Amino acid sequence: MKTKRQIQKEATRKLILDTAYRVYAEEGFSATTNQIAKAANVSHGTIFVHFPTVENLLICLLERFGSEINKHLHLLSEKDESLETFLAAHIDVLIRYEDFYKKLISDINSLPQDAKFVFINIQSVVSLHLSQVIEREKEKKEIKEIPMHIIFNSWLGLIHYYLTNSYLFSAESVLTEHKDELILNYIKLLENERN
């Protein structure tokens, strides 16, 4: 049984993470802990009671984000899912976190090394599911002989391009607006012509 103090401590930790998520999604990852403390309505020192360094806060936030993506993708993916269903599931998950993810991919190069590793591991979950789907599709001989990492990186490259340059394509959610078009045409690029 948790004490009142423990419950309060966990609630404050969650409040800081939820607020950091919101502030980073709006301002990008150059936002300061002062901004996060203000938005969470806690003192600046409180943040460092829960997270010893800014880097630690960032890593905890990215790990939580990664496990949410992991959970959603896993629940959406079924053993016999098609390539189209999987790609739609991936985009649907990203739409839920679109503003945060957009800032994350724009700022990733300036984040600490450990944060980059968490980001790689987030993508590993996606590449695992995609490679399983592709293997199944290949058994049906419908997919061109392209190395798996090029298939994966082309998909990420495509959606990351639309996200980081969303001003070119949409005034609202670029993924929502272009989801069907991106999926349909990406699959066309991979599939062999049928006779």
Smallest separation (angstroms) from another protein to the CB of 133:
12
Q: Is there a contact between 98 and 169 (Cβ–Cβ < 8 Å)?
A: no
Q: Is there a contact between 147 and 154 (Cβ–Cβ < 8 Å)?
A: no
Smallest separation (angstroms) from another protein to the CB of 40:
25
**Distance (Å, rounded) from C-alpha 144 to C-alpha 3?**
59
Q: Which residue in the set 26, 114, 180, 181 belongs to the binding site for another protein (CB under 8 A)?
A: 114
**Distance (Å, rounded) from C-alpha 20 to C-alpha 58?**
8
DSSP H/E element including 104: helix 98-107
Which residues touch 113 (CB under 8 Å, ≥6 apart)?
none
Q: Which residue in the set 2, 4, 79, 141 belongs to the binding site for another protein (CB under 8 A)?
A: 79
Which range, of 4-12, 25-33, 71-79, 165-173, touches another protein by CB under 8 A? 71-79
- Look up residue 193 and give its DSSP letter: P
- Is 71 among the residues that bind another protein (CB under 8 A)? yes
Smallest separation (angstroms) from another protein to the CB of 17:
17
Q: Is there a contact between 121 and 186 (Cβ–Cβ < 8 Å)?
A: no
- Is 158 among the residues that bind another protein (CB under 8 A)? no
- Is 144 among the residues that bind another protein (CB under 8 A)? no
- Is 121 among the residues that bind another protein (CB under 8 A)? yes
Enumerate binding residues for another protein (CB under 8 A): 63, 67, 70-71, 74-75, 79, 114, 117-118, 120-121, 123-125, 127-128, 130-131, 147-150, 152-153
